[in-house]
Amino acid sequence: MLHLCASPQDQIARLVRAIAAALAADLAQEGRALLAVSGGRSPIPLFQALAQAPIDWPRVTLTLVDERVVPPDHADSNAALVRAHLLQGKAAAARFLPLVDDPQDLAGCVARANAQQRALAQPFSVALLGMGDDGHTASLFPGATELAAGLDLGNTHHYLAISPPHAAHQRISLSLAALLRSRRLLLSIAGEAKRAVYAQASAPPPSARQPISFVIQQTQTAFDAYWTR
């Protein structure tokens, strides 16, 4: 469902409530919760608000939907972004599992990310997604050599390596199958251009030209999108 928000502040407030509710449900049922977030600059205000939310953060494990294969202190590192803006205040008590420990060893990073996810033995309570103007989500980019594997619902691994055709840095990304194993998916988008992309991607059938279409049009996992100008 697409929710139209009155302002960026309204969007942030609604997303914080949705994330907190999803985490609280798993904390009550499982005793722990797992949150996966996307990077980029857009979520910074949301991260800052979420960091102050009254969530039982010591029982929350936080990880990434995707990551650029760069050093952890690189300006483009999603892990660095999360440490600077989300793992602050109350949320500093959360356990954080980054995806890249050796940017010179992509295959090893993917293998270790998959191993740590298997060890958690729990679906994501909620995964927070973004969307590009090209219709990519996570790092499932149209035209990427590895996209077919990323969209394969029979893929049993959580993470895979992705080489975006028109974006900097190799990536590690959750597969579509892993995303759909989440208990809830949330999408945060802003601007008229992204609303138009969302509308296009909502028209059947889903297409690899707009990977987000496979998330929007699926019925397996609870999904909500929040849009603001």
pLDDT of residue 40: 85
Q: Write down the pTM of the prediction.
A: 0.97
Backbone angles phi, psi at 115, to 5 degrees: -65, -40
How many Å apart are CA 189 and CA 204, to the nearest integer?
Answer: 20
* Amino acid at the residue 178: A
**208 in Cβ contact with 147 (< 8 Å):** yes
The CA-atom distances, in angstroms, between 37 and each of 13, 137, 143 are 16, 12, 23
Domain boundaries, the chain: 2-228
Of 87, 95, 35, 91, nearest to 65 by C-alpha is: 35
pLDDT of residue 166: 87
The CA-atom distances, in angstroms, between 96 and each of 34, 37, 149, 204, 205 are 10, 11, 27, 37, 37
Question: Tens digit of pLDDT for each residue in 170-200?
Answer: 999 999 999 999 999 999 999 999 999 999 9
pLDDT of residue 168: 86
**63 in Cβ contact with 162 (< 8 Å):** no
pLDDT of residue 223: 98
Range list of H helices, the chain: 8-30, 44-50, 78-85, 106-120, 147-151, 176-180, 192-201, 212-216
Q: Show Cβ contacts of residue 197 under 8 Å, excluding neighbours closer than 6 positions.
A: 131, 133, 135, 210, 212
- Residues of the chain with pLDDT below 70 are none
pLDDT of residue 41: 86
pLDDT of residue 167: 86
pLDDT of residue 57: 98
pLDDT of residue 124: 98
Give the domain 2-228 fold. Answer: Rossmann fold (3.40.50)
